[in-house]
A = this chain, B = another copy of it.
């Protein structure tokens, strides 16, 4: 029953976030998937941060491509947090599944801030990128602090 409630809650999250409700054959497939999605996300988020912070020259075309990537990929990993995926090769804390509403709220916030960053990255204006980067990075960090083991 509890599992079913969690399934329904997650189904709601996916629907709300527009992410794909994947059907993974094994929990470890879901864990591998969500980690891979975060790996790809970070690889495109990083250069935007480097441009925003002056560690890399601003390249409008590259920023736009990274923006396209983070806009899509930020919607994906949530489908990998289904029931039974709390154990295994993961640093995810149990609170993800016991504080579902709070976790979902953090995920929504991240998607919203990343969407703003993606839009800013596509304006070709470094000041827009700088303004949007901080809130997006903070939204990532909030969940890492609360829901990821060191």
Binding site for B on A (CB under 8 A): 18-24, 29, 32-33, 35-37, 39-40, 43-44, 47, 56, 62, 65-66, 68-69, 72-73, 76
**Closest B residue by C-beta to A22:** B43
Docked complex Cα distance between A68 and B68 (Å): 12
Smallest Cβ distance from A58 to chain B, in angstroms? 13
Docked complex Cα distance between A65 and B17 (Å): 11
Copies of this chain assembled into the complex: 2
Chain A's interface: helix, strand, loop or mixed, by majority? Answer: helix
Docked complex Cα distance between A73 and B69 (Å): 8
CB distance A40 to B33 under 8 Å?
A: yes
Residues in B whose Cβ lies below 8 Å from that of A69 = 20, 72, 76
Residues in B whose Cβ lies below 8 Å from that of A72 = 68-69, 72-73
CB distance A33 to B39 under 8 Å?
A: yes
CB distance A18 to B56 under 8 Å?
A: no
Smallest Cβ distance from A57 to chain B, in angstroms? 11
CB distance A62 to B21 under 8 Å?
A: yes
CB distance B20 to A66 under 8 Å?
A: yes
**Closest B residue by C-beta to A63:** B20
Smallest Cβ distance from A51 to chain B, in angstroms? 11
